[in-house]
């Protein structure tokens, strides 16, 4: 009889081996899947996983895609460490994009050097405000944070759609729902000529290091870790749950807002209804793949960005249907999380019950 | 065991690393790329673009190789996907949604030798052309059919976004209906989406609650037709043939038919005769079709539909021929003038008789 048994100690071997086993299982699955479709499996896997990193252009695009995922995942990692189940990064990102755009459009004819910093700050503050309301509701009325943050995602989305159809719509745009293109004074500088690698990517990486520093090197981070691991113990030690909750939620909101404002002032260059293809939700996967570690989030965000780009490339270069790409990505994530299960659990193959 | 699987993994990695290097390219056919905003299974907008692609592919056979990317978000991703299509050697790239406009402009600057064709937009350059449908022609016929079929003298109209294309289609619908039914009323509900079956159903029900018994939609899902069939009223399909979703309710569907344009454009680029322009196609170019006209219509209605269709197709009837007054009493098209495409692209008024206001 096969049983699942909790390990007394997390397995240190599995910690290292888990992602490797997952990758091997996925590669085997991919070979079967693509062979069944009469596509060369090696070529398909190459396009999906290696091609996105094959030249400078693709690496630049991967970084562009990675940046909003990383911003959001760093904030979420801290939230989840502190047991604050913030599902609202998407809404906070959109709020940041909206708030930043409102300011950027004020500077449409300006060359002021303050234009860009003010725009970015507006985005960050908008993201913080958007996470502050559900936080207040939770701490004051004990409302369910998961539900309120999800609801706030929808409110942010519809507020944004209203804004691009109304006050922020391009007056010379024939009534189409998008803003005017931002001026150069409110556009993030490009770091590498000929690519789309913008300053926001650097901010995203810095944010991961800031998150890591706070979590590992400060007393505040210590409190967060204790609070997440053992709430009664943290309270006994006199740590303020309220203060920590406020901190992680505002930090997370700020980073998500930063991500949003970097998207509109960076690769998009204007406010459009589709600022985010769901970065705030994907960032939840990134945070968990990175094992709720801000630096782990860098690796995980790169990984997910590669997967998304590979999906488009597979359509372009090999005509692989988008649904099959989605299936492959889903299976990969499934194996990764399933293998992680065996870090803390193991299978036993006899009838003996051990405790 | 663990080491073994590791080795297998490494072997595979090396294996497909090599495979990528060795993808040598033989003599290439003429490559054409397509970018879709939705899935090709949306049975509406992207679906019809893909049918156009397939028809074009069939027409040229081996001479052309087409590639498409579905579900491309109209945000930061669009520019990357369009760039990658250009880098992959596509000579013509069709970007088939309005939100791809600025990404198309950005990429076109970097690839001056690639031709870009953007659907429904207004920005052109030396290597960007734009194309659109004269959907108002289909609306005029829809208005005529609705005006004849309604018993409550009320047409329900589901608007997508208040952009000129949608506004002038509402005008054309009303003028068509008015031409056969002087007592006609038009109710409008804005869904603020192109595709959202849930919202479209809500809009359809709201219109039927206000007494509308023929529904016309500028959104792309078959949901309003299904809602209409449930309540025993009539409706007109949009973008693709939607008869199978509501076989009783559907009067006809105004189908987008992109194939002629895709064939013509690709041929022009191959021949080197392509020039940037703003191309509008309608009944005359066979880019709009009346699909699945319901056999359960009265003979006289069917005759009137055919007659109106033919009149527009041959140019005898021009929906936006003056004199036309807007609903504030201002003359917007003087007698003897027909709106040009440039003027049509800016229509932002309701025609006299519509008791509503253009949003914003």
**Which pLDDT tens digit goes with each residue over A216-251?**
999 999 999 998 888 888 888 888 889 999 999 999
pLDDT value of residue B5: 47
Q: Which residues of B touch A62 (CB under 8 A)?
A: none
Q: What is the mean pLDDT of residues B268-283?
A: 96
CA B56 to chain A, closest CA, distance in angstroms equals: 17
**A23/B80 Cβ within 8 A:** no
A248 shares its domain with A118: yes
Closest-CA residue to A178 (of B83, B342, B344, B163): B163
Residue of A nearest to B7 (CA): A24
* pLDDT at res. B17: 43
Name the token pair of B223.
Answer: 């949901």
B293 Rama class: left (phi>0) / alpha (psi -120 to 50) / beta: beta
User: pLDDT digit string (tens) for B288-308?
Assistant: 999 999 999 999 999 999 999
> With an 8 Å Cβ cutoff, are A276 and B74 in contact?
no
> Closest by alpha carbon to B99, among B121, B116, B66?
B121
Mutate to test the interface with B, among A188, A197, A268 (most CBs of B within 10 A): A268
Supply the DSSP symbol for B350: P
Show the tokens assigned to B220. 């792309």
Structure tokens at B282: 């309608």
Task: Give every residue of chain A whose pLDDT is below 50, as ranges.
Answer: 355
Q: Is the pLDDT of residue B19 over 50?
A: no
Look at the block and give the residue holding tokens 């359960």.
Answer: B296
A237 within some domain = yes
- Decide if pLDDT at B24 tops 60: no
Put simply, the answer to whether A17 touches B85 (Cβ < 8 Å) is no
Residues in B closer than 8 angstroms to A12, CB to CB, are: none
Question: Out of B76, B348, B359, whose CB is closest to A267?
Answer: B76
Give me the pLDDT at residue A196, please: 93
> Min CA distance, A227 vs chain B (Å)?
36
| Chain A contact for B5 (CB, 8 A cutoff) | yes
- Residue (of B32, B29, B28, B27) closest to B274 by Cα position: B32
List of chain B residues whose C-beta atoms are within 8 Å of the C-beta of residue A69: none
Q: Are residues A256 and A328 in the same domain?
A: no
**Separation in Å, CA of B130 to nearest CA in chain A:** 15
Give tens-digit pLDDT for B142-198.
999 999 999 999 999 999 988 889 999 999 999 999 999 999 999 999 988 888 899
* Count of the separate structural domains present in chain A: 2
Higher pLDDT, B346 or A144: A144
Question: B2 pLDDT exceeds 50?
Answer: no
Q: Looking at the structure, do residues A239 and A214 belong to the same domain, yes or no?
A: yes
Compute the half-sphere exposure of residue B340: CA atoms within 13 Å on the CB side of its CA.
3
Q: Is residue A52 part of a domain?
A: no
CA distance A37 to chain B (A): 17
- The larger pLDDT score, comparing residue B43 to residue A139, is at A139
Q: Which of B5, B17, B346 sits opposite A24 (nearest CB)?
A: B5
Alpha carbon of A84 to those of A73, A76, A79, A149: distances in Å?
A: 14, 9, 5, 11
Q: How far apart are CA B78 and CA B102, in angstroms?
A: 9
CB B80: neighbour CB atoms within 10 A?
25
Residue B61's pLDDT is 95
Question: Is pLDDT of B44 > 90?
Answer: no
pLDDT in the model for residue B1:
39
Q: A342 vs chain B: nearest CA distance in angstroms? A: 14
Q: Is B68 on the interface with A (CB under 8 A)?
A: yes
Which residue would you say has higher pLDDT here, A330 or B108?
A: B108
Q: Does residue A50 fall inside a structural domain?
A: no
Residue A351's pLDDT is 61
Contacts of A45 (CB under 8 A, 6+ apart): A27, A30, A31, A34, B12, B16
Residue A114 structural domain: 64-319
Paired strand residues for A198: A190
Whether A302 and A181 map to the same domain: the answer is yes
* A19 inside domain: yes
Judge whether residue B18 has pLDDT over 60: no
In chain B, positions 8-47, which contact chain A (CB-CB < 8 Å)? 8-9, 12, 15-20, 23, 33, 39
Residues of chain A found within 8 Å of residue B160, distances taken between Cβ atoms: none
**Residue A174: per-residue pLDDT:** 81
Interface contact A64-B345, CB threshold 8 A:
no
Q: What are phi and psi of A206, to 5 degrees?
A: -60, -40
What is residue A353's predicted lDDT score, i.e. its pLDDT?
Answer: 54
Q: Nearest to residue B266, comparing CAs of B45, B115, B103?
A: B115
Same domain membership, residue A233 and residue A186:
yes
Average pLDDT (B308-319) is 96
Pair (A27, A118) in one structural domain:
no
* Interface contact B76, partner A, CB < 8 A: yes
The answer, yes or no, to whether ipTM is higher than 0.85 is no
Show residues of chain A in contact with B31, CB under 8 Å: none
Exposed / middle / buried, residue B13 (Cβ in 10 Å: 0-12, 13-18, 19+):
middle
Q: What is the mean pLDDT of residues B54-60?
A: 97
Q: What is the token pair recorded at A255?
A: 């980073």
Task: Round to whole Å and give the CA distance between B158 and B193.
Answer: 10
B303 close contact with A: CB closer than 8 A: no
Which of residues B12 and B28 earns the better pLDDT score? B28
Closest Cα in chain A to B81: A312
Distance of CA B194 to the CA centre of its chain: 10
Is the CB of residue B181 less than 8 Å from the CB of residue B155? no
A–B: how many Cβ contacts below 8 A?
126
The verdict on a CB contact (< 8 Å) between A20 and B17 is: no
Q: What share of chain A is helix, strand, coil (3-state, %, to 5)?
A: 70, 5, 25
Answer whether B79 sits within 8 Å of A196, measured CB to CB. Answer: yes
The predicted structure's pLDDT at residue B162: 85
Show residues of chain A in contact with B83, CB under 8 Å. 57, 61
List all residues of chain A from 131 to 190 with a beta carbon under 8 Å from chain B: 161, 165-166, 169, 174-178, 181
Kindly state the tokens that stand for B194: 């192109």
Q: Do A230 and A113 share a structural domain?
A: yes
- Which tokens hold the place of A273? 């209804």
Domains of chain B: 30-133 (3.40.50.2300), 135-255+290-344 (3.40.50.2300)
Do residues A105 and A226 both lie within one domain?
A: yes
Residues A110 and A259 in one domain: yes
B76-92 mean pLDDT? 94
Q: Is residue A59 situated within a structural domain?
A: no
| Mean of per-residue pLDDT scores for chain B | 91
Residue A265 Cα to chain centre, angstroms: 18
Question: Are residues A203 and A181 located together in one domain of the fold?
Answer: yes
Mapped onto helix, strand or coil, the DSSP state of residue B248 is coil
Report if residue A56 sits inside a domain: no
What residues contact B144, with CB distance under 8 A and at least 6 apart? B176, B177, B179, B180, B304, B305, B308
Phi/psi class of residue A85: alpha, beta or left (left: φ > 0; alpha: ψ in -120 to 50)? beta
Burial call B94-118: b when 16+ CB within 10 Å, e when fewer: bbbbbbbbbbbbbbbeebeebbbbb
Q: What is the CATH number of the domain that holds A207?
A: 1.10.3470
Cα–Cα distance for residue pair A79/A87, rounded to 1 Å: 10
Cα separation, B154 vs A206, whole angstroms: 60
> How close, in Å, is residue B160 to chain A by CA atoms?
11
d(CA B211, CA B207): 7
Q: How confident is the model at residue B27 (pLDDT cuts 50, 70, 90)?
A: low
The reply to whether A44 falls in a domain is no
**In a shared domain, residues A336 and A269:** no
pLDDT at B321 over 90: yes
In the stretch 282-311 of chain A, residues with CB closer than 8 A to chain B read 309
| Alpha carbons B224 and B237: distance in angstroms, whole number | 9
In terms of CA atoms, which chain B residue is nearest residue A196?
A: B80
Closest CA to B30 of B71, B120, B91, B95: B91
Q: Cβ neighbours of residue B50 under 8 Å, at least 6 residues apart?
A: B34, B36, B40, B68
Share of chain B above pLDDT 90, in %: 82
Distance from CA of A275 to the nearest CA of B (A): 5
In three-state secondary structure terms, A159 is: helix
């Amino acid at each position: 009889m096969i049983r699942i048994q909790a390990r007394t100690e997390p397995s240190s071997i599995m910690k290292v081996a888990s992602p490797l086993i997952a990758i091997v299982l996925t590669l085997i699955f991919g070979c079967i899947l693509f062979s069944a479709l009469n596509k060369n499996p090696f070529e398909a896997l190459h396009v999906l996983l290696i091609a996105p990193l094959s030249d400078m252009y693709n690496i630049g695009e991967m970084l562009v895609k990675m940046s909003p995922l990383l911003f959001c995942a760093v904030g979420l990692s801290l939230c989840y460490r502190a047991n604050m189940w913030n599902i609202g990064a998407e809404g906070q990102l959109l709020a940041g994009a909206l708030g930043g755009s409102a300011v950027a459009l004020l500077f449409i004819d300006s060359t002021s050097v303050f234009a860009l910093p003010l725009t970015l700050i507006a985005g960050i503050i908008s993201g913080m405000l958007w996470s502050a309301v559900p936080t207040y509701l939770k701490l004051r009325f004990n409302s369910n944070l998961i539900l309120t943050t999800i609801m706030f995602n929808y409110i942010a989305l519809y507020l944004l759609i209203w804004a691009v159809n109304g006050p922020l719509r391009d007056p010379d745009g024939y009534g189409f729902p998008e803003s005017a293109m931002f001026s150069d004074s409110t556009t993030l500088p490009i770091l590498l000529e000929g690519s789309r690698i913008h300053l926001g990517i650097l901010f995203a990486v810095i944010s991961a290091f800031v998150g890591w520093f706070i979590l590992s090197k400060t007393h505040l981070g210590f409190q967060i870790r204790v609070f997440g691991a053992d709430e009664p113990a943290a309270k006994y030690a006199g740590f303020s749950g309220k203060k920590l909750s406020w901190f992680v939620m505002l930090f997370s909101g700020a980073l998500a807002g930063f991500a949003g404002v970097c998207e509109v002032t960076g690769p998009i260059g204007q406010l459009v209804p589709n600022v985010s293809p769901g970065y705030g939700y994907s960032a939840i996967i990134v945070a968990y793949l990175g094992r709720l570690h801000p630096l782990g989030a860098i690796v995980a965000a790169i990984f997910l960005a590669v997967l998304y780009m590979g999906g488009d490339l597979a359509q372009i270069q090999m005509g692989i249907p988008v649904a099959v790409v989605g299936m492959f990505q889903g299976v990969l994530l499934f194996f990764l999380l399933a293998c992680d299960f065996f870090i803390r659990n193991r299978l036993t193959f006899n009838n003996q019950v051990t405790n | 065991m663990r080491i073994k699987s590791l080795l297998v993994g490494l072997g595979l990695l090396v294996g497909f690393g090599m495979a990528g290097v060795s993808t040598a390219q033989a003599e290439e056919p003429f490559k054409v790329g397509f970018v879709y905003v939705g899935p090709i299974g949306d049975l509406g907008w992207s679906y019809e673009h893909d049918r156009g692609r397939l028809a074009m592919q069939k027409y040229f056979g081996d001479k052309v190789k087409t590639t498409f990317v579905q579900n491309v978000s109209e945000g930061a991703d669009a520019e990357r996907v369009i760039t990658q299509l250009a880098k992959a050697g596509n000579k013509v790239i069709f970007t088939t949604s309005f939100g791809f406009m600025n990404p198309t402009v950005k990429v076109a600057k970097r690839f001056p030798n690639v031709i870009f064709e953007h659907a429904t937009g207004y920005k052109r350059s030396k290597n960007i052309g734009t194309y659109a449908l004269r959907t108002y022609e289909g609306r005029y016929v829809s208005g005529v059919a609705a005006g004849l079929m309604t018993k409550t003298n009320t047409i329900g109209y589901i608007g997508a976004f208040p952009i000129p294309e949608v506004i002038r289609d509402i005008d054309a619908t009303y003028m068509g209906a008015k031409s056969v039914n002087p007592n006609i009323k038009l109710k409008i509900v804005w869904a603020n989406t192109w595709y959202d079956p849930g919202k479209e159903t809500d809009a359809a029900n709201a219109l039927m609650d206000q007494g509308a018994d023929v529904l016309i939609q500028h959104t792309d899902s078959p949901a309003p037709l299904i809602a209409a069939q449930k309540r025993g009223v009539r409706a007109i399909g949009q973008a693709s043939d939607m008869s199978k979703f509501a076989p009783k309710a559907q009067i006809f569907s105004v189908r987008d038919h992109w194939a002629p344009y895709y064939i013509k454009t690709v041929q022009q680029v191959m021949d080197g005769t392509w020039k940037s322009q703003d191309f509008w196609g309608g009944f005359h170019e066979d880019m709009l079709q009346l699909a699945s006209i319901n056999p359960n219509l009265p003979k006289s209605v069917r005759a009137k539909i055919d007659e109106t269709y033919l009149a527009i197709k041959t140019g005898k009837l021009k929906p936006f021929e003056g004199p036309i007054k807007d609903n504030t009493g201002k003359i917007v098209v003087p007698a003897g003038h027909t709106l040009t495409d440039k003027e049509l692209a800016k229509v932002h008024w309701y025609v006299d008789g519509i008791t509503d206001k253009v949003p914003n």
